[in-house]
Chain A
Amino acid sequence: MASLSLVNVCKTFKNGQVAVKDFNLDIRDQEFLILVGPSGCGKSTTLRMIAGLEEISSGELWIDGELMNLTDPQKRDLSMVFQSYALYPHLTVYENMAFSLRVRNVVKTEIDQRVRKAADVLCISHLLDRKPHALSGGQKQRVAIGSAIVREPKAYLMDEPLSNLDAKLRTQMRVELSKIHKELGATIIYVTHDQVEAMTLGTRIVVMNSGVILQAAEPKVLYQNPVNKFVAGFMGSPSMNFIPVWVERREDRICVEFSKNRLFVNEECAKRLIDGDYVSRRVYLGIRPEDLHETGLKDQELKLNVEIKEVLGSEILLHGKIGRSQVCARLKPDFSSEAGKEASIFADMSRILLFDMDTEENILYR
């Protein structure tokens, strides 16, 4: 297992497309690092540069203290799960999984033992004699994961390895991956779109947008203390509500006002707003759906015009409007409300975030 460092890594494609810009990141030994970001933000490109499939335009890649920029992929000792499976169609599942070990001249009995163990973990033992064309998408994906984990390389690179599994299998595989990570003490770099995967698996999450890192932090920190509006909106599902508000001074306290609603902010928040000279200016109020409650103090009340009510079983989601802003609230299932009616909900003012209108940075960032 190993630690990796990317220093000022940039990638410009031949057609001039800049996919990754100034990527600086230290990946510690045994870390489970998650790369998230919208489609096309350069996650796969970053992974491919680490694997050596894509040349690094500028900057350096260090693996275990050795400069790896120009090392051939086969000499980097990494293993990768591709977004597009990449199984060898003429080999059976067993041979596919054994391939990388065979190339490395591992003894037969050991190959057999490792392949069978991996197949067990991934629930594909009954498929070992099949060819890839006789597998479903989810089964192929598991074989692809299997081919990667039979080896013990310096680091595992995984590009959306669970994207084609159904919800139940995905949960199961998530647990398995977590176990593998702990058991092997593996360094894993993992690309995903899935919020839950990112939050539950990662020891650290890197949020990217258009080729740059916005924030790299532990899942909890990232969730509670995002650097800017993009990160705040990207993490969490349903995503954070953003409401444009006026910052005002009333009765010697600082409050935010929007379309007949007034919310008083707490002291620390008030101090930040005054220090940042935001009084009488507009900012974004950010509040997560689960921080809107069905009971609370009078001065936290908001009137929500309910448009759609989604019943999810353990909870309900109310989608509606406060003034002109679209808002979603996550409430207990016994909350009585109906589409087309007005509902009273209460904001937890200790959990709100405020963002600058122009720079979209988090005013309360610690």
Chain B
Amino acid sequence: MESVISRAVKDISREELENLKREALKKALFRRRATKLALTGMNLLMALFLLLPLLYAVSIALMPSSELFTMSMNLIPTTPTLDNFRQAMVKIPLTRFIVNSFVVAGCITAGQIISCSLAAFSFSFLDFKGKNLLFMLVMATMMIPGEATIISNYLTVSGLHWLDSYKVLIIPYLTSAMGIFLFRQFYKSFPISLYESARIDGCTNLRFIYSILIPLTKSAIGAMAVYTFINAWNMYMWPLLVTGSDKMRTVQIGLGMLDSVDSQSISMMIAGVVMIIVPSISVFILGQKQLIRGMFSGAVKG
């Protein structure tokens, strides 16, 4: 007896079959391309919408102030100029501020990554008395707003004669409850049998952290690093309080200095903003690759 399939195939000639296939392929391809095109178009539109303020800021920074204060809607400068940037650089030592901010934000980021990941490691992999209580205490510190402690912190650091130095900007921020919490949440999904296996293979805790844990949690570290860096870069209140000289100021304070009551120039201030946004955006672009990838497929039975 003939099977249903072979009979059905028999009815169509070879050429017809090929044609059928080709047509189906064409349709599928067209559909796929159309979807892709529509999605790309929509994404571009959204991106433009979201980036509008930023792009407008760039365009203002390139405008002479005469163009800004007109009744007509001026989105794009007619006579672009770099004057605003030059003025901002002359008015304040912006390079120095950017360097300061980089040093401070970089140190804070490195410090937080190291301290938070180590703390989170012991909270999630080690077993010790009072672990949960200690963790609750750490979490409790998140409930206190930073502004509430700023005065007492100021008194402490001034008592130590640390004012107006890098260490006063960096040391109080070397760890954060938020970071510990985030890392711990991330380690929770880490298969514990890998830790056990590594221990039997002869790893000490430190060896495990650097050979297994860090490579496998790159994405968490990347996310944490970007988040911390941008936060540190944007710090305002604390640096304003504890720094006095141009030598130690950070960019956000510098921006504040561009604004003076008697000779206010919006376009110059915006030029300053644009200059200090560039580093933080570039950090984000470099870091975001790490944010995307998940790395756990294939670790355990599943």
Interface residues of A (CB under 8 A from B): 48, 51-53, 72-74, 76, 78-80, 82-90, 99-100, 103-104, 131-135, 137, 140, 147, 164
Q: Least Cβ distance of B126 to chain A in Å?
A: 12
B203 at the A/B interface (Cβ < 8 Å)?
yes
Asked whether, in the complex, the Cβ of B216 is within 8 Å of the Cβ of A90, the reply is: yes
Question: CB-CB < 8 A to A100: which residues of B?
Answer: 200-202
CA of A139 to CA of B77, assembled, Å: 64
From A48, A88, A99, A104, residue with most partner B Cβ within 10 Å: A88
Asked whether, in the complex, the Cβ of B200 is within 8 Å of the Cβ of A80, the reply is: yes
User: A-side binding surface: helix, strand, loop or mixed?
Assistant: mixed
Asked whether, in the complex, the Cβ of A90 is within 8 Å of the Cβ of B295, the reply is: yes
In the complex, residue of chain A having the shortest beta-carbon distance to the beta carbon of B212: A88
Asked whether, in the complex, the Cβ of A87 is within 8 Å of the Cβ of B299, the reply is: yes
Asked whether, in the complex, the Cβ of A89 is within 8 Å of the Cβ of B202, the reply is: no
- Partner of B298 from A51, A79, A135 at Cβ < 8 Å: A135
Asked whether, in the complex, the Cβ of A84 is within 8 Å of the Cβ of B301, the reply is: yes
Given A86-B194, A88-B194: A74 in contact with B295 (beta carbons within 8 A): no
B296 at the A/B interface (Cβ < 8 Å)?
yes
Asked whether, in the complex, the Cβ of B300 is within 8 Å of the Cβ of A74, the reply is: no
In the complex, residue of chain B having the shortest beta-carbon distance to the beta carbon of A54: B196
CA of A133 to CA of B298, assembled, Å: 4
Question: CB-CB < 8 A to A132: which residues of B?
Answer: 298-299
Asked whether, in the complex, the Cβ of B295 is within 8 Å of the Cβ of A89, the reply is: yes
- Partner of B207 from A79, A82, A83, A103 at Cβ < 8 Å: A103
Asked whether, in the complex, the Cβ of A86 is within 8 Å of the Cβ of B199, the reply is: no
CA of A88 to CA of B300, assembled, Å: 9
CA of A165 to CA of B62, assembled, Å: 68
Q: Least Cβ distance of B131 to chain A in Å?
A: 12
Question: CB-CB < 8 A to B203: which residues of A?
Answer: 74, 103
CA of A134 to CA of B196, assembled, Å: 23
Asked whether, in the complex, the Cβ of A90 is within 8 Å of the Cβ of B215, the reply is: yes
Asked whether, in the complex, the Cβ of A86 is within 8 Å of the Cβ of B298, the reply is: no
CA of A160 to CA of B300, assembled, Å: 14
- Partner of B191 from A51, A86, A99 at Cβ < 8 Å: A86
Asked whether, in the complex, the Cβ of A89 is within 8 Å of the Cβ of B196, the reply is: no
Type the 1/0 row for B179-211, where 1 means its CB is closer than 8 Å to any CB of A.
Answer: 000000000000101101111111110010001
CA of A147 to CA of B197, assembled, Å: 10
